[in-house]
Amino acid sequence: MEGELTTTVRSLHIPGSLSQERQKALARIAELSGENVSECMQCGTCSAVCPMVESMGMTTRQGIHYLQFGLVERVIDARIGEFCASCHTCQVRCPRGIEVPKVFEAVRLLALRQNEDLITIGAIPKETIAGAPQIAMVSTFRKLTA
């Protein structure tokens, strides 16, 4: 089974016990991010230092754990990709050297490739639009719309 999947990420461990669908999802995350989530030892450091973790539907450690089993949809549903601010704090503290923001960026891209916007522009209060810096609005639309 593993031989049928291709990924540029060296030493990515894809459990043979996973369904083909989950194996492909795990390989896809590796290809898009260039990172090997199977190296995560679940220490939780990334969750402890993440400034956005309270807004996410699960901790970053949990997100990586679900991805180790190819459960990308669970991580998409937890909106980690949307709320990750790409501050890189987790990356510099990860004892395994995993570039966690790249992993969650891959999750966000997979969500957008389902052609679903991750934000409802019409629901943004007018006061927010009037008060927010234009660059913030533009980058939000670029990040969260398909």
Q: Which residues in this chain contact ligand SF4 in the complex, by CB under 6 A? A: 40-46, 49-52, 60-61, 64, 84-90, 94-96, 98, 100-101, 104
Closest distance between ligand SF4 and the C-beta of residue 142, in Å? 17
On the CB side of 13, CA atoms within 13 Å amount to 9
Closest distance between ligand SF4 and the C-beta of residue 130, in Å? 27
Closest distance between ligand SF4 and the C-beta of residue 13, in Å? 14
The single residue listed with the structure tokens 């966000």 is 108
Residues across the chain:
146
Cα 31 to the center of its chain, rounded Å? 13
DSSP 66-132: HHHTT-HHHHHHTTHHHH-----HHHHH-TT---HHHHHHHHHHHHHTTT--SS-GGGS-HHHHHHS
107 token code pair: 């999750």
